[in-house]
Structure 1
Amino acid sequence: MTTPSSSSIPAVRAIVTGHTHGLGAALAQQLLSRNIAVLGLSRSSNPTLARSYRNTFDEIKLDLAQTQQLAHWLAGEDLSRFIAGAHCVLLLNNAGTVQPIGSLEQQTPDAIAHAIGLNVAAPLMLASAVACASTGGAERRIVHISSGAGRQAYAGWNIYCATKAALDHHARAVALEQNPLLRISSVAPGVVDTGMQAEIRSTSAEQFPLRGKFDELKRNGQLATPEQTAEKLIAYALSDAFGQTPVSDLRELA
């Protein structure tokens, strides 16, 4: 695939969810280092980025699992002001949760609602808002951070699998609409060494029978770093190849 420099797509503005840690923080930092303005959406703030990129970084504290809170924010003008004048708007739907882990009878209604709000409702709401925001003829590029769990079922992850599969199918359906100003792909980034991985390794084998596999990946140094993954993901998102396949795996891209 052809990987452009940060200047080959003029006036890119990026929205990154979950920008305060892990892959989201790496994505935000690397976009900013390319002189791409970033709007971060998360429950907490990222003071390191705020200090280092005063002119090109902004953030909004939002609990993305609370759909009414997100809907209220989207009804305001913050998003429109941020993307005004952009030639390309890049949305990276990164925020998510692997909880609740465990069999169906171990899950609570609140935990299920929280996961669906954060993993499904928020990305779809933001995608719609970006697609219809008034920015003239600006191109929109929407990246759902998916998972192999959306394509392969795992015991103990029935909610996580279902929510990631929802993102994949959303991207497939949106791609069929053939909007000439919109590209979308639901991208599985591979196994990344983040807090989510630590959370998985702290789960009992009773809750998640495949936990030992993730212990082994960590022990053998087979987890990608957030920085490595962010670099590949941004290169893909800004490339000519992005959007040609609505569901993709970062590990399989040339």
Structure 2
Amino acid sequence: MKAIVTGHTKGLGAAITQELLARGIPVLGLARGRSPDAATRYPGLLTEIELDLSDSAAMTAWLGRGEVSAWLAGCSTALLVNNAGIVSPVGPLAEQDPLQAIRAVTLNVAAPLALAASVVQATVGAERRILHVSSGAGRSAYPGWSVYCATKAALDRHAEAVQLDGDATVRVCSLAPGVIDTGMQAEIRATGEDRFPLRERFVQLKAQGGLSSPEDCARRLVAYLLADGFGSQAVADLREV
């Protein structure tokens, strides 16, 4: 068994990576930086690639080098956790940076979909488990989050369509993990209400202790990823499975 985790150096991605490594599962981490602490704690289990997943040209070049196939060669079970994502641009259309919207769609949608296809094509005969880290924003619209909502909804529809393809060796789930105390939440709380009118709701969640820790969420997420029932629901919420 081997895993690929995107955005493995921070927040939930770092916690997921630590949880997988603690279980003895080798991880290929894809992010703009590296995780010296995890590499030191689990020597030989973590392989890191510095890659900007919001850069389509860099992503295309890396995939073309066949490193997914090389990493997963001979693997009986391949895990893919598409965790990396950004909430920006935030605000109404009149205030959105179009180039930032392109980068968000590349990171939040194009990279996960391309990696999912690459993993499946590289592991013929193996079991493949694909987990998209989704959001409640993919299932309900929020003012100021048109790009974020659209990209998370895209992951949900992708998982549903893949499940309909009927390949029993491919298990997929687009999973909303709940509200987690990460850097993204800090960014949300720092956003002005003129761009995100629901900001106060997230401020109160933090003040009232309503945020899950990345570590607790990662334990439950990885347990679900490895469970017999993973993939029975194409779209799910971690708080309900």
TM-score (norm: length of structure 1): 0.93
Amino acid at match of 1:33: A
| Cα shift at 1:70 | 0.9
2:121 equivalent in structure 1: 132
Matches within 5 A, 1:94-113: 94-113=83-102
1:156 equivalent in structure 2: 144
Give every structure 1 segment of 4 or more consecutive aligned residues whose post-TM-superposition deviation is greater than 4 Å: none
Of the three residues 175, 186, 189, the one matched with 1:201 is: 189
Matched, 1:175 2:166: no
1:42 equivalent in structure 2: 31
Q: What is the alpha-carbon distance in structure 1 between the residues aligned to residue 45 and residue 69 of structure 2?
A: 16
Instruction: Give the gaps of 5 or more residues in structure 1.
Output: 1-11
SS, match of residue 252 in structure 1: coil
**Number of aligned residue pairs:** 241
Q: What is the alpha-carbon distance in structure 2 between the residues aligned to residue 251 and residue 110 of structure 1?
A: 34
SS, match of residue 245 in structure 1: coil
Matched, 1:31 2:37: no
- What does the per-residue CA deviation read over 1:200-239, in whole Å, with 9 as the maximum and x for residues that have no partner? 0000011100000000000000100000000010011111
Q: What is the alpha-carbon distance in structure 1 between the residues aligned to residue 146 and residue 63 of structure 2?
A: 30
Matched, 1:19 2:40: no
- What does the per-residue CA deviation read over 1:43-88, in whole Å, with 9 as the maximum and x for residues that have no partner? 1111111111221110100000011211111111321121112111
Matched, 1:243 2:231: yes
| Cα shift at 1:106 | 0.5
RMSD: 0.8
Matched, 1:166 2:169: no
Q: What is the alpha-carbon distance in structure 2 between the residues aligned to residue 158 and residue 136 of structure 1?
A: 37
1:78 equivalent in structure 2: 67
- What does the per-residue CA deviation read over 1:97-146, in whole Å, with 9 as the maximum and x for residues that have no partner? 0000101110111111010010000000100100111x341100000000
1:8 equivalent in structure 2: none
- Shifted more, 75-84 versus 18-27: the winner is 75-84
Of the three residues 227, 235, 254, the one matched with 2:215 is: 227
SS, match of residue 75 in structure 2: coil
